[in-house]
Amino acid sequence: MLKVFAARLRQKHRTVGYPDAEPILPDRLRGRPAIDASKCTERCESCVRVCPTQAIRRDGSGLAFDLGRCLFCGDCVEACPAGAITLTHEHRLATRDRDDLVVSGSAYRLARALDEKSRRLFGRSLKLRQVSAGGCNACEADLNVLSTIVFDLSRFGIEFVASPRHADGLVVTGPVTANMKLALMKTYAAVPAPKLVIAVGACAISGGAYADHDECLGGAASCVPVDLFVPGCPPHPITILDGFLRLLGRLENR
């Protein structure tokens, strides 16, 4: 027992200070893309051609990134001869609407909170059932780590549960393969109303690297209504936590 106490004293406080303090993120984190329009030429399509998921397109106002399809691989940064594209260190990515995941010259609209009635229901106690609908286990791993002492998701009243009948909503990962469609829909039906659905990762939002494949349905929204989109491949645990807290109204005006 004395050894346990000694180890605890050596480790000190291990839980991150977020959201009261700014998160300490790795230098290699690839966050929200930024486009320098002054460097981007209309004739150059290097980034569009190299993107493995067709997440980049050119519209009337210039380049637009669809973060719902983006794998944050950085190929576009390397391919751009003018250096017009950078992947910033911005970890805040979650949105409520699918269309808000498209980044262009306009400001990025972060997830807004649920309505007042829903916040009264879920704001202090939110139980979630995670469904891996054909995922590679990367997003699943970053969801699992939220329950460790470092992130301590339960301090916000948010916990993962084993049964959908004990849940307030679903967290879906993976592109939703044809074999997982029925399982996902049955799991959603088993969650008592009112309920939430959160799509985590590019696969769950758009199909990601498997978009348009015959055996994939293109994300969770193809089967169930989605209330929160958390882009990334995989998203950093802080990005996921930030999305959860914004949905519950814990990060308003931040």
pLDDT of residue 18: 93
Please give the CATH architecture assigned to the domain spanning 116-247: 3-Layer(aba) Sandwich (3.40)
Class of domain 33-90: alpha beta
Q: What is the DSSP letter of 6?
A: H
What's residue 3's pLDDT?
A: 84
Does residue 128 sit in helix, strand or coil?
strand
Domain(s) of CATH 3.30.70.3270: residues in the chain:
33-90
Tens place of pLDDT per residue across the chain (254 aa): 888 778 778 877 789 999 999 999 999 999 999 888 888 876 788 999 999 999 998 876 678 899 999 999 999 999 999 888 999 999 999 999 999 999 886 678 999 999 999 999 999 999 999 999 999 999 999 999 999 999 999 999 999 999 999 999 999 999 999 999 999 999 999 999 999 999 999 999 999 999 989 999 999 999 999 999 999 999 999 999 999 999 999 987 66
The owner of tokens 């882009």 is: 231
d(CA 115, CA 94): 17
Total residue count of the chain as it appears in this document: 254
- DSSP conformation letters of 139-183: HHHHHHGGGSTTT-GGGGTEEE-S-GGG-SEEEEES--BGGGHHH
Q: Closest Cα partner for 223 from 136, 133, 137, 160?
A: 133
Which pLDDT score, from 0 to 100, does residue 105 have? Answer: 66
Gap between the Cα atoms of 125 and 117, Å rounded? 14
* pLDDT at residue 106, as a whole number: 64
CB 158 within 8 A of CB 244: yes
